[in-house]
A and B are shown apart, each in its own frame.
Chain A
Amino acid sequence: MMKGLGGYLLKRVFYMLATLWLIITITFFLMKLLPASPFTNLDKLSKTQVEILYSQYGLDKPVAVQYLIYMRGFAKGDFGVSFQFKNQPVADLLSERVGPSLQLGLQAILFGTLVGIVLGALAAMWQNTWVDALATIVAILGRSIPNFIFAVILQYVFGLRLGILPIAMWKDFSYTILPTLALSMSPMADAARFIRTEMVEVNNSDYIELARAKGMNRFEIALRHGLRNSLIPLITLLGPMAVGLMTGSLVIENIFAVPGIGEQFVKSITTSDYPTIMAVTVLYSAMLVVVILVVDLLYGIVDPRIRVAGEGDK
């Protein structure tokens, strides 16, 4: 048993590292292929100035050497120096920005899944009633309509029209409410749909029938049997949710002027700040790959059949 888990873990970590290495390498060489120079006013500078600039950023060495230097720095957490903000190491630039992004992401996932679970459970308990219809509508809207549309509507209604909540910026908790809401719509929809489907299935099983025959009321049944059995498979949704949140953060952080990673990413792309683009690319990939690995492992621990099936198809 433990050996099986260890082998599985080893295999997965190996794939994770291979993927990350591939991403870093591809990103590095793609950036080298780019025709544009990182320095905007290059033709105004003298030849020596250009040479000094290039050697300062390590761009005068052969590409292979640059690659080795980059990889070595990478292992030490050094991502080079930003082109956009002179003399500011990319690592420092990004570390200031991890906080808001992380806070937004966690708040959105927590709030979204909690509301989604409640909605889904209520919908399953009162199947085919107006509660169910409402949950279905929320699920369909949340899944279909892009989160930046929700963001704009929320901003208009609560920020501009009602003036209850701040429109943008990042100061205290009230500034996080609207972006969190906008980001949480799709986790909410996914969770509601998932929990409803699972619970409807569980509701038809024999042990629920038995619980009903024993005279348990529907809330007890829903909480102790239905929900508990539906929550474990919910872990599988975390991977896709994390992907969605990262995509979402790019645009939501821009709309609400949140000083997070996503906002910096867009800014560095529009200003051709290559070291920052590379660092964020790798950071995003690493975060996703780790989240997906953790989710798979958790699921493998909770439900050993997955692991066995994984071994089996070899």
Chain B
Amino acid sequence: MNERFAPLELADAAYEREKNEAPSLGFLQDSWRRLRKNRSAVVSLSVLVFIVCVAVASIWLTPHNPNRQQLEHGNLPPRIAGLSIPGFDGKMTTRGRVIDKYAQEGIPDDVSYFLGTDDLGRDLFSRLLAGVRVSLLIAFIAAFLDLTIGVAFGLISGLGGERVDSVMQRFLEILAGIPNLVVMILMLTIFKPGILTIILAMIVTGWISMARIVRAQTMKLKNQEYVLAATVLGQPRWKIALMHILPNISGVVIVQMMFSIPQAIFFEAFLSFVGLGLRPPNASLGTLLNEGYKAFRVLPYQMWAPTAALSVIMLAFNLLADGLRDAFDPKMSDG
């Protein structure tokens, strides 16, 4: 055999060495890779996962019962057993004198309240956990319903043909003209304030921006070749919507939903803080702020914990949403 026709081993190795290709990544993998590079988004995501886990775990495990009232334990400042950091040592300043509130009230040494107690002697740490849970629950349900209604409306309007689209858009324009604050307040005046009412009040107008975005994206995609091909092949319209359009706009939809979660948290806190949302025996971030604010001038510690919790949650959701937006669509980043 002629040696000159033998395959050249070296060339193969060189080809391997010179080969220049990245592993092929799907849309989600690619976005995830970009998201991981964004430090603030990763930190926010970890913080949120932690908060959600703690909030869920607190259904079974809390240091004290969040609703148990013990009047003799009322208005105790924060104390963490074994720690003597100022602010968490059970001491407080009243009229210029530092007193150990726990010793004064005769509370046994083994009873400590991490974040203190309110005027009815309820443990504020346990109430905070319960409050975060309720606020997150409201926000997640509201965001999910916004998503469902908005996506359905947007897809139908975008694909339904000119007449359907025109009717649906006029309806949307009029509805969007009504300020959401007004709608929420009317709903809360008419129905009994509660978790369901708040959710309902938020979704009446909350889905509109989602519907608009989904419609605009659908309009953009529906003349793409793959959609035309599917139409020509006789796919029914609902199948095109769900199997071809929806997966391709999922990034935009997820980002929009991530922005609507903190907005729902804000509105719950806002309404309950003013006294129009949930009412005090229920714990939520808004009601805790509302109760803490009443004692704020004398006992500021009752206000700081829910304030910090709300701020951290709002910041984390907003940063994560920003990160996701940049990850799904690098072109939309603010540079």
Q: Which of A144, A148, A200 meets B262, CB within 8 Å?
A: A144
Chain A: residues with Cβ within 8 Å of the partner, total of 48
**Interface pair B275/A156, CB less than 8 Å apart:** no
Residue interface mask A1-45, B partner, CB < 8 A = 1: 000000000000001101110110011001001100000000000
**What secondary structure prevails in chain A residues at the interface with B?**
helix
Residue numbers in B under 8 Å from A30 (CB-CB) = 186, 189-190
Q: Which of B185, B303, B311, B335 meets A269, CB within 8 Å?
A: B185
Number of A-B contacts (CB under 8 A): 105
**Interface pair A152/B293, CB less than 8 Å apart:** yes
Q: Which of A152, A265, A281 meets B307, CB within 8 Å?
A: A152
* Beta-carbon contacts under 8 Å, B259-304 to A: 262, 266, 269-270, 273-276, 289, 293, 296-297, 300, 303
Any chain A CB within 8 A of the CB of B318? yes
**Interface pair B315/A144, CB less than 8 Å apart:** yes
> Please, which residue of chain A has its CB at the minimum distance from the CB of B318?
A144
Any chain B CB within 8 A of the CB of A71? no
Closest 9 pairs (CB-CB, A-B) = A19-B177, A144-B318, A144-B314, A144-B315, A197-B334, A288-B179, A247-B181, A281-B182, A145-B311
Any chain A CB within 8 A of the CB of B173? yes
Residue numbers in B under 8 Å from A33 (CB-CB) = 190
**Interface pair A23/B178, CB less than 8 Å apart:** yes
**Interface pair B181/A140, CB less than 8 Å apart:** no
**B78 CB to nearest chain A CB (Å):** 17
**Interface pair B177/A251, CB less than 8 Å apart:** no
Known: A34-B189, A250-B274, A269-B276. A285 touches B182 (CB 8 A): yes
Residue numbers in A under 8 Å from B173 (CB-CB) = 15
**Interface pair B318/A140, CB less than 8 Å apart:** yes
Any chain B CB within 8 A of the CB of A77? no
Residue numbers in A under 8 Å from B270 (CB-CB) = 146, 148, 247, 250-251
* Beta-carbon contacts under 8 Å, A141-160 to B: 141, 143-146, 148-149, 152-153, 156, 160
Residue numbers in B under 8 Å from A288 (CB-CB) = 179
**Interface pair B307/A149, CB less than 8 Å apart:** yes
**Interface pair A34/B297, CB less than 8 Å apart:** no
Any chain B CB within 8 A of the CB of A56? no
Residue numbers in B under 8 Å from A281 (CB-CB) = 182, 185-186
Q: Which of A34, A156, A197, A289 has the most chain B CB atoms inside 10 A of its CB? A: A156
**Interface pair A143/B310, CB less than 8 Å apart:** no
Assembled-state Cα–Cα distance A20/B179 (Å): 11
Any chain A CB within 8 A of the CB of B174? yes
* Beta-carbon contacts under 8 Å, A275-299 to B: 277, 281, 284-285, 288-289, 292
